[in-house]
Amino acid sequence: MTTDTGVEDLLRGLAPQVLGVLIRRHGRFDACEDAVQEALLAAAVQWRAEGVPESPRGWLITVASRRLADAVRSDAARRRREDAAATLEPEDAAAAPAPGDESPAEEDDTLTLLLLCCHPALSPASQLALTLRAVGGLTTAEIAHAFLVPEATMAQRISRAKQRIKAAGARFEIPADAERTERLRVVLHVLYLMFNEGYTASSGLQLQRAELTREAIRLTRAVRERLPDDGEVAGLLALMLLTDARRPARTGPDGALIPLAEQDRRRWDADAIRDGIALITATLARGPVGPYQLQAAIAAVHAEAARAEDTDWKQIVALYTLLERFTPNPMVTLNHAVAVAMVHGPRAGLDLLSTLDGDERLAEHHRLDAVRAHLLEMAGDVAAARAAYRTAARRTTSRPERRYLEARAARLAVRESAAR
């Protein structure tokens, strides 16, 4: 009997390949995706009990093709005028390959599928949800759980996304150069968002969702296999590896958050750090430089420091200064302010932070208050830091972050009381 984890990992890796084959052969994203999900469910049950077949990819393609044919037959009985060009006719099902009969050299359509899921007709939220479902192999329930919405709500979001793709007349093919470049930028952003949500969940009981970070890394590797010379793809993968390497040290036994400066760096994943540093070093040498590469370079500087006090903050400040020229946004400025404080003192960091006070993108966001609290604490302004920690704690929807911020505020309250 095959282990549950082994079957799950195998199915998630095969899901985009199988879906790509069906869409390329038959069109109809929504019908093909439903058929693949049914095949994945059947495999999850049967393979655990009977073992993985000799050709798992062929097995899935065959079962999904048959499910698609069954759906078309049922649909055709109700709607005789169905456009034959856009559907799989019953006689085509007989041509579906037997398990293991498909060519092992058949193209991996993962990148094409990612580009389709990140179609510009979709909102960022829909792009992310559809990517997780169609390419990541997560169930609707798993995606809904990750983003704390009802399963029915997420099902509607995914269904609307597939309908918009159909209405937009999207084709299952690599777009022309100009559109491909823009669409790839969206793909990388979606994978970046997926990773970030897994690394620090925006809400809920857990700080991290390892299944999302693993999936983001797996999909980014798949994109890099197709585009090995793209510097930003390599930069994003290096950033993910170097950041995820800290995951074992980010929480205590009780799930409490441990900030970077207090982490036991011996618990960091040395293999991931080595791979990430090697990747970003080779990528930067080729040029040109992009924002994901710069973020990976910053992560590499942190990773190379054996102790927090050994961190080369001057280099990090220089990298953030360059990053802000590429992608000026408030989250970059937040992190830049911390780096400036470590080099030039907390007041300099607070001055930089004050430039964000009128930024509507950070209105009511706990990160601005949390960083301000940290810098005020560094500056010795205990009362103001405590107030800022409490404000940040009220605004976050993540329980581990709230507990951490409340603990910092409580500790400062004790210090303030002792000083009186």
pTM of the model: 0.77
pLDDT at position 54 is 87
Cis before 150 (ω within 30): no
Contact 135, 110 (CB under 8 A): yes
- Length of the chain, please? 420
pLDDT at position 416 is 78
Phi, psi of 415 (to 5 degrees): -60, -40
All structural domains of the chain with their residue ranges? 4-93
**Cα–Cα distance for residue pair 282/237, rounded to 1 Å:** 13
pLDDT at position 73 is 72
**Cα–Cα distance for residue pair 394/402, rounded to 1 Å:** 7
What's the maximum distance between 2 C-alpha atoms anywhere in the chain?
A: 86
- One pLDDT digit (tens) per residue for the chain, 420 residues: 456 667 877 887 788 888 888 888 888 888 888 888 888 888 888 898 888 898 898 999 999 998 888 877 766 555 544 444 444 443 343 334 444 444 434 556 788 888 888 888 888 888 888 888 888 777 788 788 767 678 899 889 998 988 888 888 887 877 777 777 888 888 898 899 889 888 887 777 788 888 889 889 988 998 998 889 999 999 999 999 999 999 999 999 888 899 999 999 999 999 999 999 999 999 999 988 999 999 999 999 999 999 999 999 999 999 999 999 999 889 999 999 999 999 999 999 999 999 999 888 887 789 999 999 999 999 999 999 999 999 999 999 889 999 999 999 999 998 877 776
pLDDT at position 11 is 84
Neighbouring residues of 226: CB distance < 8 A, sequence distance ≥ 6: 108, 110, 111
DSSP states of 84-153 as a string? GGGS--HHHHTTSPPTT-S-TTPPP-HHHHHHHHT-TTS-HHHHHHHIIIIIT---HHHHHHHTT--HHH
pLDDT at position 163 is 87
- Token pair recorded at residue 365: 């966001």
Residue owning tokens 């040498």: 285
pLDDT at position 90 is 38
**Cα–Cα distance for residue pair 89/77, rounded to 1 Å:** 12
pLDDT at position 180 is 78
Contact 346, 376 (CB under 8 A): yes
**Cα–Cα distance for residue pair 330/359, rounded to 1 Å:** 8
